[in-house]
Amino acid sequence: MNIGILGTGSVGRALAAGLSAAGHEVQIGTRDPWVTLARTDPDRFGNPAFSTWTTAHEQVGLVTFAEAAAAGDIVVNATSGDVSMQALQAAGADNLRGKILIDVSNPLDFSTGFPPTLFVKDTDSLGEQIQRAFPETRVVKTLNTLNAGLMLAPERLSAPSAVFLSGDDDEAKGQVAELLASFGWQQIVDLGGIATSRGVEMLMPMWLSLLSVHGDPQFNWAIVT
């Protein structure tokens, strides 16, 4: 499958590496590929420069947001939540029309430092904002509740754990569930419409507390019945 990933941070890289290794054709989109490649310093989250990563992942193309969206049968929003809307606007409604957009973002506000707060919550969500802004795109919120390194590698944990799907289009959720299942996910929970993004986005403060308890991000939720 052709997959366009928006965002060159740790989430975009992990998804690109995993999807590419699984045989998908992957393009990563960024605002300006030359600027991204010219950087040598770590990004604001401490990830090594993209130019370092790309030498080990030459099968993944680096293109503009619009080119990545145009190339993808499925498009993934792996940008930081505070710039997601700008990145998607740069990707372009035409390039996203009719497509599945997997939204992995979280509405984190780092303006008052760490821990971040949420710039939208409870009565609305970033998933819903994106769906409203791109009504002809089929937004499926998922994978925003766990560390990038686990997103396509659930077997790294000691027991099965859960991923969640939120979206208004059942067929789109079905396709995303299939893609997730191909990476070994077993507990794939369809929460309902895109408004259920509120719940998964509001898990973030708890996730940050658990990160602090565990000391590393190798953990995930599971639902026990």
Binding mask 182-211 for a copy of itself (x = CB under 8 A): -------xxxx---x-xxx-xx-xxxxxx-
Residue 111 binds to a copy of itself (criterion: CB under 8 A)? no
Q: How far is the CB of 151 from a copy of itself (least distance, A)?
A: 14
Sign of CA dihedral 119, 214, 180, 28: positive
Binding mask 142-181 for a copy of itself (x = CB under 8 A): ---------------xxxxx--------------------
Q: How far apart are CA 170 and CA 33, in angstroms?
A: 34
Residues in the chain: 225
**Given the complex with a copy of itself, which of 97 and 214 has the nearer CB atom?**
214
Binding mask 64-93 for a copy of itself (x = CB under 8 A): ------------------------------
Residues 73, 96 contacting (CB under 8 angstroms): no
Judged by CB under 8 A, the residue of 117, 133, 149, 183 near a copy of itself is 117
Nearest to 128 by CA among 73, 86, 85, 173: 85
Distances (CA, A) of 4 to 12, 25, 71, 117, 148: 10, 8, 6, 29, 17
Residues 151, 18 contacting (CB under 8 angstroms): yes
The residues that touch a copy of itself, with contacts defined as CB under 8 A, are: 117-118, 121-123, 157-161, 189-192, 196, 198-200, 202-203, 205-210, 212-214, 218-225
